[in-house]
Amino acid sequence: DTGVSQDPRHKITKRGQNVTFRCDPISEHNRLYWYRQTLGQGPEFLTYFQNEAQLEKSRLLSDRFSAERPKGSFSTLEIQRTEQGDSAMYLCASSHTGTGGRIDYGYTFGSGTRLTVV
């Protein structure tokens, strides 16, 4: 297992187009997270999954954003009708929770997908 993989690394799209990003987490991890990061800011939480269940999605930036994790494996983040303000780095991370949801280790992040909307 080589860590968290994100694809593509870079995406340039025209305003109004739809884009989809893929994340392959560490296989032993049961949680998967999506974050957005803009220049000079820390990662901003968007949504997360435990196995295939999406447990929190209220922080998705608008109804143009959606995420899926079919069968609890890889995940996709889709942005519909992209706007210039969507330009950012989109980060995926995974983690493992122990008994009772206990966190003993940090998240493992991918290298991100850099989105540029022109």
Partner 1 sequence: SQKIEQNSEALNIQEGKTATLTCNYTNYSPAYLQWYRQDPGRGPVFLLLIRENEKEKRKERLKVTFDTTLKQSLFHITASQPADSATYLCAFSGYALNFGKGTSLLVTP
Q: Which parts of this chain interact with partner 1 (CB under 8 A)? A: 4, 33, 35, 40-45, 48, 55-56, 91, 93, 103-112, 114
Sorted by sequence, the CB contacts under 8 Å of residue 116 that are 6+ apart come out as 10, 11, 12, 13, 87
Which phi-psi region, left, alpha or beta, contains residue 30 (left: φ > 0; alpha: ψ -120 to 50)?
alpha
Smallest distance from the beta carbon of 47 to partner 1, in angstroms?
8
Return the closest-CA partner of residue 3 out of 24, 31, 18: 24
Nearer to partner 1, 26 or 80 (CB): 26
Least distance in Å: CB of 18 to partner 1? 24
Output the smallest distance, CB 39 to partner 1, in A: 10
| Closer residue to partner 1, CB minimum distance, 50 or 66 | 50
Give the nearest distance from C-beta 45 to partner 1 in angstroms: 5
How many Cα atoms are found within 13 Å in the side-chain-facing hemisphere of 85?
4
Nearer to partner 1, 7 or 56 (CB): 56
Count CA atoms closer than 13 A to 47's CA, side-chain side. Answer: 21
- Of the two residues 82 and 94, which places its CB atom closer to partner 1 in the complex? 94
Q: Please name every residue paired with 64 in a beta bridge, in sequence order, or none if there are none.
A: none
